[in-house]
Amino acid sequence: MTTLAFTKGHGTGNDFVLFTDPDGEVDLTPERVRFLCDRRFGIGADGVIRAVRSRSIPEGAAILETEPEAEWFMDYWNADGTVAEMCGNGVRVYTHYLISEGLVAPERSDTLPLGTRAGVRDVLIGAAGYTVDLGRWRLGKERLVQASGLEVARPGLGIEVGNPHVVTVLADESELEGLNLVAEPTLDPAPADGANAEFVVPAEPFLVNGVAHIRMRVFERGVGETLSCGTGAAASALAFRHWGGDQMPHSWSVAVPGGKLGVRMFATEEGEHVSLSGPAELVYSGTIDLP
Ligand SMILES: N[C@@H](CCC[C@H](N)C(=O)O)C(=O)O
Protein backbone atom coordinates (compact mmCIF):
# COMPACT_ATOMS: atom_id res chain seq x y z
CA MET A 1 0.00 0.00 0.00
CA THR A 2 1.34 3.47 -0.91
CA THR A 3 0.25 6.33 1.35
CA LEU A 4 0.54 9.70 -0.34
CA ALA A 5 0.89 13.05 1.45
CA PHE A 6 -0.93 15.52 -0.77
CA THR A 7 -2.02 19.16 -0.91
CA LYS A 8 -5.15 20.38 -2.65
CA GLY A 9 -4.81 23.68 -4.52
CA HIS A 10 -6.48 25.72 -7.20
CA GLY A 11 -6.06 28.70 -9.53
CA THR A 12 -9.39 30.45 -10.20
CA GLY A 13 -11.22 27.22 -9.35
CA ASN A 14 -9.16 24.98 -11.65
CA ASP A 15 -8.19 22.46 -8.97
CA PHE A 16 -5.30 20.09 -8.51
CA VAL A 17 -3.95 17.41 -6.19
CA LEU A 18 -0.25 18.09 -5.65
CA PHE A 19 2.35 15.83 -4.08
CA THR A 20 6.12 15.68 -3.79
CA ASP A 21 8.08 12.78 -5.25
CA PRO A 22 11.60 14.24 -5.74
CA ASP A 23 13.18 11.01 -6.99
CA GLY A 24 10.22 9.80 -9.08
CA GLU A 25 9.58 6.77 -6.88
CA VAL A 26 5.78 6.80 -6.86
CA ASP A 27 4.25 4.56 -9.52
CA LEU A 28 1.76 7.15 -10.82
CA THR A 29 -0.59 5.30 -13.16
CA PRO A 30 -3.64 6.55 -15.11
CA GLU A 31 -5.84 4.50 -12.71
CA ARG A 32 -4.31 6.19 -9.66
CA VAL A 33 -4.73 9.63 -11.24
CA ARG A 34 -8.40 8.89 -11.99
CA PHE A 35 -8.87 7.75 -8.37
CA LEU A 36 -7.22 10.89 -6.91
CA CYS A 37 -9.34 13.14 -9.17
CA ASP A 38 -12.63 11.34 -8.49
CA ARG A 39 -14.88 13.79 -6.62
CA ARG A 40 -16.89 10.99 -4.97
CA PHE A 41 -14.46 8.13 -4.33
CA GLY A 42 -11.15 10.05 -4.17
CA ILE A 43 -10.07 13.61 -3.35
CA GLY A 44 -11.53 15.32 -6.42
CA ALA A 45 -9.64 17.56 -8.84
CA ASP A 46 -9.27 18.57 -12.49
CA GLY A 47 -5.71 17.24 -12.50
CA VAL A 48 -2.76 15.86 -10.56
CA ILE A 49 0.63 17.58 -10.31
CA ARG A 50 3.63 15.61 -9.15
CA ALA A 51 6.61 17.67 -7.95
CA VAL A 52 9.53 15.67 -9.26
CA ARG A 53 13.14 16.69 -9.83
CA SER A 54 13.81 17.05 -13.56
CA ARG A 55 16.68 14.59 -13.33
CA SER A 56 14.26 11.90 -12.06
CA ILE A 57 11.89 11.82 -15.05
CA PRO A 58 12.95 11.22 -18.69
CA GLU A 59 11.13 14.32 -20.05
CA GLY A 60 12.88 16.43 -17.39
CA ALA A 61 16.31 14.90 -17.92
CA ALA A 62 16.07 15.81 -21.61
CA ILE A 63 15.33 19.43 -20.67
CA LEU A 64 18.31 19.61 -18.29
CA GLU A 65 20.69 19.01 -21.20
CA THR A 66 20.00 22.51 -22.52
CA GLU A 67 18.46 24.24 -19.48
CA PRO A 68 20.22 22.94 -16.36
CA GLU A 69 18.61 25.57 -14.12
CA ALA A 70 15.16 23.90 -14.39
CA GLU A 71 15.61 21.78 -11.25
CA TRP A 72 11.91 20.92 -10.77
CA PHE A 73 9.55 19.42 -13.32
CA MET A 74 5.75 19.82 -13.32
CA ASP A 75 4.48 16.29 -14.02
CA TYR A 76 0.91 17.27 -14.95
CA TRP A 77 -1.91 14.72 -15.48
CA ASN A 78 -5.52 15.36 -16.53
CA ALA A 79 -8.36 13.87 -14.45
CA ASP A 80 -8.92 11.12 -17.04
CA GLY A 81 -5.37 9.80 -16.52
CA THR A 82 -3.74 11.33 -19.61
CA VAL A 83 -0.71 13.59 -19.40
CA ALA A 84 -0.70 17.10 -20.91
CA GLU A 85 2.14 19.29 -22.08
CA MET A 86 1.24 22.33 -20.05
CA CYS A 87 -1.20 23.80 -17.53
CA GLY A 88 -1.27 27.58 -17.03
CA ASN A 89 -3.22 27.58 -13.76
CA GLY A 90 -1.35 24.51 -12.59
CA VAL A 91 2.10 26.03 -13.07
CA ARG A 92 1.22 28.98 -10.79
CA VAL A 93 -0.26 26.67 -8.14
CA TYR A 94 2.79 24.41 -8.51
CA THR A 95 5.14 27.36 -7.92
CA HIS A 96 3.18 28.35 -4.81
CA TYR A 97 3.36 24.73 -3.60
CA LEU A 98 7.14 24.43 -4.17
CA ILE A 99 7.68 27.63 -2.18
CA SER A 100 5.34 26.69 0.66
CA GLU A 101 6.92 23.23 0.96
CA GLY A 102 10.38 24.86 1.16
CA LEU A 103 11.53 23.06 -1.99
CA VAL A 104 12.61 26.33 -3.61
CA ALA A 105 13.39 29.62 -1.91
CA PRO A 106 13.13 32.37 -4.47
CA GLU A 107 12.95 36.07 -3.55
CA ARG A 108 9.93 38.16 -4.52
CA SER A 109 10.44 39.35 -8.11
CA ASP A 110 12.62 36.30 -8.80
CA THR A 111 11.95 34.13 -11.81
CA LEU A 112 11.67 30.38 -11.29
CA PRO A 113 12.35 28.18 -14.35
CA LEU A 114 10.25 25.01 -14.28
CA GLY A 115 10.38 21.99 -16.57
CA THR A 116 7.13 21.00 -18.30
CA ARG A 117 6.32 18.71 -21.22
CA ALA A 118 6.06 21.90 -23.34
CA GLY A 119 9.62 22.92 -22.37
CA VAL A 120 10.90 25.26 -19.65
CA ARG A 121 8.45 27.89 -18.39
CA ASP A 122 9.61 30.90 -16.35
CA VAL A 123 7.35 31.91 -13.48
CA LEU A 124 7.73 35.42 -12.08
CA ILE A 125 6.98 35.66 -8.37
CA GLY A 126 5.35 39.00 -7.65
CA ALA A 127 3.68 40.67 -4.68
CA ALA A 128 0.24 40.24 -6.25
CA GLY A 129 0.58 36.68 -7.52
CA TYR A 130 2.36 34.71 -10.20
CA THR A 131 2.99 35.44 -13.87
CA VAL A 132 4.12 32.68 -16.19
CA ASP A 133 5.75 33.29 -19.55
CA LEU A 134 3.97 30.74 -21.75
CA GLY A 135 6.57 31.30 -24.45
CA ARG A 136 5.95 31.49 -28.17
CA TRP A 137 2.48 30.71 -29.40
CA ARG A 138 1.41 29.26 -32.74
CA LEU A 139 -1.63 29.71 -34.93
CA GLY A 140 -3.29 26.38 -35.78
CA LYS A 141 -6.04 25.27 -38.15
CA GLU A 142 -9.62 26.52 -38.32
CA ARG A 143 -12.13 23.82 -37.35
CA LEU A 144 -15.90 23.64 -37.19
CA VAL A 145 -17.04 23.49 -33.59
CA GLN A 146 -20.39 22.06 -32.52
CA ALA A 147 -21.49 22.26 -28.90
CA SER A 148 -24.76 21.36 -27.21
CA GLY A 149 -26.81 24.57 -27.01
CA LEU A 150 -25.61 25.98 -30.35
CA GLU A 151 -28.04 25.71 -33.25
CA VAL A 152 -25.34 25.54 -35.90
CA ALA A 153 -21.64 24.70 -35.87
CA ARG A 154 -19.25 27.69 -35.68
CA PRO A 155 -15.71 28.25 -36.90
CA GLY A 156 -13.08 27.85 -34.20
CA LEU A 157 -9.46 28.94 -34.42
CA GLY A 158 -6.62 26.63 -33.41
CA ILE A 159 -4.04 28.18 -31.07
CA GLU A 160 -1.07 26.34 -29.53
CA VAL A 161 0.41 27.71 -26.32
CA GLY A 162 2.38 24.58 -25.48
CA ASN A 163 -0.88 22.61 -25.49
CA PRO A 164 -3.65 22.71 -28.14
CA HIS A 165 -6.76 24.90 -28.06
CA VAL A 166 -9.63 25.69 -30.42
CA VAL A 167 -11.32 29.03 -29.68
CA THR A 168 -14.83 29.92 -30.84
CA VAL A 169 -16.29 33.42 -30.52
CA LEU A 170 -20.04 33.42 -29.77
CA ALA A 171 -22.61 36.11 -30.47
CA ASP A 172 -23.39 37.23 -26.92
CA GLU A 173 -23.53 36.37 -23.21
CA SER A 174 -26.84 34.51 -23.49
CA GLU A 175 -25.33 32.21 -26.10
CA LEU A 176 -22.33 31.61 -23.81
CA GLU A 177 -24.58 30.88 -20.85
CA GLY A 178 -26.83 28.63 -22.94
CA LEU A 179 -24.00 26.20 -23.73
CA ASN A 180 -24.27 22.76 -22.21
CA LEU A 181 -20.66 21.79 -21.66
CA VAL A 182 -21.52 18.56 -19.85
CA ALA A 183 -21.48 17.17 -23.37
CA GLU A 184 -18.10 17.28 -25.13
CA PRO A 185 -18.04 19.70 -28.10
CA THR A 186 -17.08 18.13 -31.43
CA LEU A 187 -14.29 19.55 -33.57
CA ASP A 188 -14.23 18.98 -37.33
CA PRO A 189 -11.73 17.90 -38.48
CA ALA A 190 -10.89 16.27 -35.17
CA PRO A 191 -7.32 17.06 -34.01
CA ALA A 192 -5.24 13.87 -33.73
CA ASP A 193 -4.31 14.52 -30.09
CA GLY A 194 -7.56 16.27 -29.13
CA ALA A 195 -7.79 19.89 -28.02
CA ASN A 196 -9.22 22.09 -25.32
CA ALA A 197 -12.31 23.96 -26.59
CA GLU A 198 -12.88 27.57 -25.48
CA PHE A 199 -15.97 29.72 -26.08
CA VAL A 200 -15.62 33.49 -25.71
CA VAL A 201 -17.62 36.71 -25.90
CA PRO A 202 -16.56 40.33 -25.43
CA ALA A 203 -17.39 41.68 -21.96
CA GLU A 204 -19.28 44.92 -21.47
CA PRO A 205 -17.47 47.41 -21.48
CA PHE A 206 -14.90 45.76 -23.75
CA LEU A 207 -12.01 48.22 -23.53
CA VAL A 208 -11.06 49.79 -20.18
CA ASN A 209 -7.79 51.77 -19.85
CA GLY A 210 -6.23 49.94 -22.77
CA VAL A 211 -7.15 46.48 -21.45
CA ALA A 212 -9.57 44.32 -23.47
CA HIS A 213 -12.11 42.31 -21.45
CA ILE A 214 -13.59 38.99 -22.54
CA ARG A 215 -15.55 36.14 -20.91
CA MET A 216 -14.67 32.51 -21.48
CA ARG A 217 -16.03 29.03 -20.80
CA VAL A 218 -13.99 25.93 -21.53
CA PHE A 219 -14.28 22.21 -22.10
CA GLU A 220 -10.84 20.87 -21.22
CA ARG A 221 -9.33 17.92 -23.01
CA GLY A 222 -9.10 15.03 -20.56
CA VAL A 223 -11.26 16.74 -17.95
CA GLY A 224 -14.59 18.25 -19.08
CA GLU A 225 -15.95 21.70 -18.24
CA THR A 226 -13.73 23.39 -15.66
CA LEU A 227 -14.09 26.69 -13.79
CA SER A 228 -10.98 28.02 -15.51
CA CYS A 229 -8.15 27.15 -17.87
CA GLY A 230 -5.06 29.36 -17.88
CA THR A 231 -3.62 28.31 -21.22
CA GLY A 232 -7.19 28.51 -22.57
CA ALA A 233 -7.46 32.13 -21.38
CA ALA A 234 -4.22 32.97 -23.21
CA ALA A 235 -5.41 31.16 -26.36
CA SER A 236 -8.77 32.98 -26.18
CA ALA A 237 -7.14 36.43 -25.97
CA LEU A 238 -4.80 35.53 -28.85
CA ALA A 239 -7.69 34.30 -31.03
CA PHE A 240 -9.78 37.37 -30.24
CA ARG A 241 -6.90 39.67 -31.12
CA HIS A 242 -6.28 37.69 -34.33
CA TRP A 243 -9.87 38.27 -35.45
CA GLY A 244 -10.02 41.83 -34.14
CA GLY A 245 -6.97 43.02 -36.07
CA ASP A 246 -4.33 45.65 -35.45
CA GLN A 247 -6.39 47.95 -33.24
CA MET A 248 -6.64 45.27 -30.54
CA PRO A 249 -4.49 45.79 -27.40
CA HIS A 250 -1.83 43.48 -25.97
CA SER A 251 -3.28 43.42 -22.45
CA TRP A 252 -6.34 41.30 -21.74
CA SER A 253 -8.53 40.42 -18.82
CA VAL A 254 -10.30 37.08 -19.14
CA ALA A 255 -13.29 36.39 -16.86
CA VAL A 256 -13.88 32.69 -16.28
CA PRO A 257 -16.50 31.07 -14.03
CA GLY A 258 -13.87 30.77 -11.24
CA GLY A 259 -12.43 34.31 -11.36
CA LYS A 260 -10.22 36.51 -13.53
CA LEU A 261 -6.93 35.97 -15.35
CA GLY A 262 -4.58 38.47 -16.99
CA VAL A 263 -2.98 37.84 -20.38
CA ARG A 264 -0.29 39.93 -22.06
CA MET A 265 1.43 39.61 -25.42
CA PHE A 266 4.97 40.98 -25.66
CA ALA A 267 7.84 41.03 -28.13
CA THR A 268 11.04 39.08 -27.48
CA GLU A 269 14.12 38.44 -29.62
CA GLU A 270 12.75 35.06 -30.70
CA GLY A 271 9.26 36.36 -31.53
CA GLU A 272 6.09 37.22 -29.62
CA HIS A 273 5.47 35.58 -26.26
CA VAL A 274 2.28 35.45 -24.22
CA SER A 275 2.13 35.59 -20.43
CA LEU A 276 -0.55 34.62 -17.93
CA SER A 277 -1.14 36.12 -14.47
CA GLY A 278 -3.49 35.08 -11.73
CA PRO A 279 -3.92 33.76 -8.22
CA ALA A 280 -2.74 30.47 -6.76
CA GLU A 281 -4.26 29.02 -3.58
CA LEU A 282 -3.41 26.01 -1.45
CA VAL A 283 -6.52 24.83 0.39
CA TYR A 284 -5.71 21.82 2.55
CA SER A 285 -3.32 18.93 3.01
CA GLY A 286 -3.84 15.31 3.98
CA THR A 287 -2.85 11.74 3.31
CA ILE A 288 -4.54 9.15 1.14
CA ASP A 289 -3.90 5.45 0.51
CA LEU A 290 -3.43 4.76 -3.17
CA PRO A 291 -5.21 1.69 -4.54
N1 LIG B 1 -6.22 23.66 -16.87
C2 LIG B 1 -5.01 23.84 -17.59
C3 LIG B 1 -4.84 23.01 -18.82
C4 LIG B 1 -4.68 21.54 -18.46
C5 LIG B 1 -4.32 20.65 -19.61
C6 LIG B 1 -5.41 20.51 -20.61
N7 LIG B 1 -6.58 19.87 -20.10
C8 LIG B 1 -4.86 19.75 -21.84
O9 LIG B 1 -5.10 18.53 -21.95
O10 LIG B 1 -4.18 20.38 -22.66
C11 LIG B 1 -4.60 25.29 -17.73
O12 LIG B 1 -4.88 26.04 -16.78
O13 LIG B 1 -3.93 25.66 -18.68
Q: What digits encode the pLDDT tens for the residues 81-92?
A: 999 999 999 999
**Residues 71 and 154 occupy one common structural domain:** no
Which pLDDT tens digit goes with each residue over 38-50?
999 999 999 999 9
Catalytic-labelled residue, pool 48, 87, 114, 214: 87
**Residues 129 and 12 occupy one common structural domain:** yes
**Residues 47 and 163 occupy one common structural domain:** no
Which domain, by its residues, includes 123? Answer: 2-135+279-290
- How far apart CA 46 and CA 36 sit, in angstroms, is 10
**Residues 150 and 248 occupy one common structural domain:** yes
**Residues 156 and 126 occupy one common structural domain:** no
Which pLDDT tens digit goes with each residue over 3-12?
999 999 999 9
**Residues 179 and 262 occupy one common structural domain:** yes
Q: What is the CATH number of the domain that holds 80?
A: 3.10.310.10
**Residues 109 and 143 occupy one common structural domain:** no
User: Inter-axis angle of helices 230-244 and 88-100, to 10 degrees?
Assistant: 140
- How far apart CA 199 and CA 148 sit, in angstroms, is 12
- How far apart CA 25 and CA 57 sit, in angstroms, is 10
- How far apart CA 115 and CA 155 sit, in angstroms, is 34
Whether ligand 1 lies within 6 angstroms of the CB of 116 is answered as: no
**Residues 231 and 257 occupy one common structural domain:** yes
Helix (H) or strand (E) holding 91: helix 88-100
Mean pLDDT value across residues 97-123: 93
Banded pLDDT at 69 (limits 50, 70, 90): very high
**Residues 67 and 184 occupy one common structural domain:** no
> How much is the pLDDT for 211?
98
Please give the tally of structural domains in the chain. Answer: 2
Whether ligand 1 lies within 6 angstroms of the CB of 277 is answered as: no
Banded pLDDT at 178 (limits 50, 70, 90): very high
**Residues 37 and 145 occupy one common structural domain:** no
Q: What interface predicted TM-score (ipTM) does this complex get?
A: 0.99
The secondary structure of 236-274 as a DSSP string is HHHHHHHHH-TTS-SEEEEEETTEEEEEEEEEETTEEEE
Whether ligand 1 lies within 6 angstroms of the CB of 221 is answered as: yes
The secondary structure of 37-74 as a DSSP string is H-TTTS---SEEEEEEEGGGSHHHHHHHTT-TT--EEE
The model's pTM:
0.97
Q: Is 229 a catalytic residue?
A: yes
Which pLDDT tens digit goes with each residue over 209-261?
999 999 999 999 999 999 999 999 999 999 999 999 889 999 999 999 999 99
Banded pLDDT at 106 (limits 50, 70, 90): confident
**Residues 194 and 128 occupy one common structural domain:** no
